[in-house]
Amino acid sequence: MQNYPSKLLEAAVNEFSRLPGIGRKTALRLVLNMLRRPTSDAERFANALVRLRTEVRYCNTCQNISESETCSICADQRRDRSLVMVVEDIRDVMAVENTSQYRGLYHVLGGILSPVDGIGPEQLNIQQLVSRLESGEVSEVIMALSTTMEGDTTVFYIFKKLQPFQVNVTTIARGVAIGGEIEYADEVTLGRSILNRTPYDSAFIR
């Protein structure tokens, strides 16, 4: 798949294949789809890309993507301002919001520490988190990062950074998924769920 019949085609395939998880064959399929659609579709797509990159703003407080200086979550006075949940990116914010179980604020890191990919503490919004704690308003920081090597390293790094402050640092519970079969749970998760067993409380059963 190397001899493209047109340089324009090849240029478009190159752009699509730079996206994560999209190889050159898939990119070509996407490009051929664009070619079959009206010119207005390509123009609208192009416009959305450029506006996204040039006009999108980030919340001054939590670094979430926002339409204004302060995002709608940070601006919502009904939310508990003493709770801050640290997440990797806005997809995690959306996932947690969908549960309707959390009424605190967020802090979006914009990634996790990954020296292999050249992502150090300076590339993440860690300093902004430290600054937020200086006001003394926050009493608990909930870490909701993935349990990979990088995620665990990031949690540990932030934990160290937060030592000077009077805040509780917690992590979300890890265990067997609700609806999940114990038989099929992986051994690490099952082991952790036994170590972190909680008192039986019928209020939480649903």
Q: Which residues bind its own copies (CB under 8 A)?
A: 1, 3-9, 11-12, 14-15, 18-22, 26, 28-37, 39, 41-57, 64-67, 71-73, 89-91, 93-95, 97-98, 110-111
State which residue, 43 or 80, has the beta carbon closest to its own copies: 43
How far apart (Å, rounded) are the C-alpha atoms in residues 47 and 111?
26
State which residue, 70 or 153, has the beta carbon closest to its own copies: 70
Q: Number of C-alpha atoms within 13 angstroms, CB side, residue 76?
A: 11
CB of 24 to its own copies, least distance (A): 11
- Are the C-beta atoms of residues 86 and 124 closer than 8 Å to each other? no
- Are the C-beta atoms of residues 111 and 88 closer than 8 Å to each other? yes
Residue 127, classed as helix, strand or coil, is helix
- Are the C-beta atoms of residues 86 and 158 closer than 8 Å to each other? yes
CB of 114 to its own copies, least distance (A): 13
Residue 161, classed as helix, strand or coil, is helix
How far apart (Å, rounded) are the C-alpha atoms in residues 9 and 46?
15
State which residue, 8 or 177, has the beta carbon closest to its own copies: 8
State which residue, 10 or 152, has the beta carbon closest to its own copies: 10
State which residue, 124 or 162, has the beta carbon closest to its own copies: 124
134, 174, 188 from 88: Cα distances, Å: 22, 17, 22
How far apart (Å, rounded) are the C-alpha atoms in residues 56 and 50?
10
